[in-house]
Structure 1
Amino acid sequence: MITTPKWVGVAALALVAAITLAGCSTATPSTGSTPGAKPSGAITVYNAQHEELTQAWADEFTKQTGVTVTLRNGDDSELGNQLVQEGNASPADVFLTENSPAMSLVDNAKLFAPVDAATLAQVPEAYRPSSGHWTGIAARSTVFVYNPSMLSESQLPASLLDLADAKWKGRWAASPSGADFQAIVSALLALKGEKATSAWLASMKENATAYKGNSAVMKAVNAGEIPAGVIYHYYWFGDQSGTGENSDNTKLHYFKNSDPGAFVSTSGGGVLKTAKNPVAAQAFLKFITGKTGQTILQTGSSFEYPVASDVAANKALVPLVDLDAPVLDPSKLDSRKVTDLMTAAGLL
């Protein structure tokens, strides 16, 4: 405590105050983590990623740090909208998704704290937004699953846009209500614009058969109910690693050529500004994008792509570099506009 004599004037008091404040100038804002601080306590994660994968991450993180991780599981849109509604009152420390539009939704509401620089350094620029308010943690590729007894290779579409042609009426399927497919449409919107996207969605309404979920689409193609469908790659690889009963009659077609159908969706992770335990929250995000976290992803059952710390994909997968995906800033994918356009087209 600084004791000031009664005769000291206002100017001297100001000088004492300035010296005192200068001594406190290294304080860290409450919205960030303290560099070098050891994580402890507990965090709450709003998890829209695969539950098994995130549980494996949480278990290993707890083993290494002692931090207790509570998961609240849901889907991208559900949890993203919940965070926006909760605002500063949210109990969440961390948000994880399967697709990036939900991350942009929360980021646009200015609810994320900046990601620690050491974490961002682990992730290539292609798999994190320009804002630096969240980061990629995994990725998944768009694919065209087809039944070779109903479609030959020569009949496969060269582009996702080809599915708007009348010859595809009743010959392909998707899950328009799911966040996965809506993320694919957000890429189409970013690459081709609103007019082209609206026209494509109108044709989709005429041509495509709607199912609930990518697994249902793949099962329908496998059963010969419909020749083909648009899904993410990992549904097929996951089924093939097991019994194969829902995929043995199918093959995958990759559009490549920077086509909208070659879109690679970035799964995201971010720390909330209002995190009760920002040190542990930032440490958790650094852990899952680090070598150990990405190796858990590589060797696990989700069959998603690692995107950080130079960890290669599962050997069963087509390497990311060979997918020839379009280059997109994941923070620019507009989920609200996509929902509006799909609703206008009668798909939602």
Structure 2
Amino acid sequence: MRRTSVIASLAALSLAATLTACGADDTPDEGTGPDATPTEGAAGDGTSDDGDTLVIYSGRNENLVAPVLEELEAAVGIPVEVRYAGTSELAAQLLEEGSATDADLFFGQDAGALGALARADMLVELDRTVTDLVPEVYRDGGDRWVATSGRVRVLAYDPEQVPDVESLTTIDDVLAPGLEGQVGFAPANASFHAFVTGLRVARGEEGAREWLEAFAASSPEGYENNNAVLDAVDGGQVAVGLINHYYYFQKVAELGQDAVSARIHYLEPGDPGSLVNVAGAGVVAGTDNRTAAHAALEFLLSAETQQYFADTTAEYPVVEGVTSTTFDLPDLADVAENQIDLNDLDSLDQTLVMLDEVGLT
């Protein structure tokens, strides 16, 4: 296995440590499971002990993806071993293990972590038969990882307080004087950090700082997580909240539409406020199970698995032709359009510094 650049590895490891320190999002797919512990033996050969097992490092929560990964074994033709932990924790572990890792596939909930591993040469170039299944915007430009599902930033809003919500078309509109003190957000939440990172990428450091300073001056209300933001909007405590789309759909599915007063509004496609972040996967460099690893990716992108994500968690499928039969999701192409390289979401450390400097931590 080719050894990674020491500088690149240290930079990516620093990022992963920062991600772990700041905490993950509060959604089921962004939590942490049991600690991932390296298997003894076979160090350096890119396999597990017996050399015939596909080892997956999964940053997606066991409760969410275990049904999918249990079906994976039949698809790849060899036994599958899954090690669960936080995405950032596992990314850091991979970088520490380097060529000694026995991981074959990395399955993470955040494009930033995938980008960090790709830039550290820990992920190999994938076959086009895999990458061509996913639109170009939702895969690495070097074909080192592909998205498996997506989520969109939206505005939750109280219809009574914001009857003219259609006038809100960009993230700048939440800075309007009429919304001063009426916007909820989750300052310590990973999804908010990813939004700000995307803002920095899209508008540059100066443009992002200008927006953040104006946002801070508008006296937004901070909450612990996205669910709390949505609850505050639903209860009329704030008029608008910055969240991911699936919180709303899950709340409606749990309580029923009549029991939820809040609604959600998608900003203009391509606006930083409608950022699409993704869960995704890549094949770990040095694996001796490359064929099985690619088969695993094909399974994650199969119509069956895409339907699972669409119907179980209200995530957006990334393969054309799959739509949710459970949730009334608008077509992703109609509501969102990324204009940034999702790999660039790995610059979270700079985001945290900027948030602290403008007083939004």
The bucket for the TM-score relative to the shorter chain is: 0.7 to 0.9
Matching residue within 339, 342, 351 for 1:330:
342
- Residue in 2 that maps onto 1:344: 357
Moved over 6 A (4+): none
Q: Any gaps of 5 or more consecutive residues in structure 2?
A: 1-44
Separation in structure 1 between the aligned mates of residue 290 and residue 273 of structure 2, nearest angstrom: 38
TM-score w.r.t. the length of structure 2 is 0.76
Alignment of 1:300-311 (within 5 A): 301-308=312-319, 310-311=321-322
Aligned partner letter, 2:272: P
Q: State the superposition RMSD in angstroms.
A: 2.8
Alignment of 1:152-171 (within 5 A): 152-154=163-165, 157-165=168-176, 167-171=178-182
Greater mean deviation of Cα atoms: 269-278 or 147-156: 147-156
Please state how far the C-alpha of 1:280 moved relative to its aligned partner: 2.5
Aligned partner letter, 2:348: S
Please state how far the C-alpha of 1:167 moved relative to its aligned partner: 4.3
Matching residue within 297, 302, 311 for 1:290:
302
State percent identity of aligned pairs: 27
Deviations 1:113-166 (A, max 9, x none): 222222112112121121111111111111100122333225863311233445
Matching residue within 217, 229, 253 for 1:241:
253
Matching residue within 113, 121, 124 for 1:113:
124
SS at match of 1:46: strand
**Does the CA contact (< 8 Å) of 2:153 and 2:244 recur in 1?**
yes
**Does the CA contact (< 8 Å) of 1:41 and 1:66 recur in 2?**
no
Please state how far the C-alpha of 1:256 moved relative to its aligned partner: 1.8
Deviations 1:233-278 (A, max 9, x none): 1111112112249970200111124221122222221121144643
Relative distance call for 1:223 and 1:70 in structure 2 (3 A) is: farther
- Residue in 2 that maps onto 1:7: none
Please state how far the C-alpha of 1:73 moved relative to its aligned partner: 3.4
Matching residue within 213, 220, 224 for 1:208:
220
Separation in structure 2 between the aligned mates of residue 246 and residue 209 of structure 1, nearest angstrom: 26
Matching residue within 150, 153, 156 for 1:145:
156
- Residue in 2 that maps onto 1:187: 198
Separation in structure 1 between the aligned mates of residue 79 and residue 231 of structure 2, nearest angstrom: 38
Separation in structure 2 between the aligned mates of residue 275 and residue 323 of structure 1, nearest angstrom: 38
Matching residue within 271, 274, 277 for 2:283:
271
- Residue in 1 that maps onto 2:39: none
Separation in structure 1 between the aligned mates of residue 240 and residue 187 of structure 2, nearest angstrom: 15
**Does the CA contact (< 8 Å) of 2:104 and 2:284 recur in 1?**
yes
Matching residue within 44, 57, 61 for 2:68:
57
Separation in structure 2 between the aligned mates of residue 89 and residue 226 of structure 1, nearest angstrom: 51
SS at match of 1:58: helix
TM-score w.r.t. the length of structure 1 is 0.79
SS at match of 1:241: helix
Please state how far the C-alpha of 1:347 moved relative to its aligned partner: 3.0
SS at match of 1:145: strand
**Does the CA contact (< 8 Å) of 1:31 and 1:113 recur in 2?**
no
Aligned partner letter, 2:156: V
Q: Any gaps of 5 or more consecutive residues in structure 1?
A: 1-29, 33-39
Greater mean deviation of Cα atoms: 335-344 or 106-115: 335-344
Matching residue within 128, 142, 147 for 1:131:
142
Separation in structure 2 between the aligned mates of residue 153 and residue 184 of structure 1, nearest angstrom: 24
Deviations 1:216-235 (A, max 9, x none): 21122222232221111111
SS at match of 1:217: helix
Separation in structure 2 between the aligned mates of residue 342 and residue 91 of structure 1, nearest angstrom: 37
Separation in structure 2 between the aligned mates of residue 303 and residue 50 of structure 1, nearest angstrom: 15
Q: How many residues align?
A: 311
Relative distance call for 1:199 and 1:270 in structure 2 (3 A) is: same
Alignment of 1:19-34 (within 5 A): none
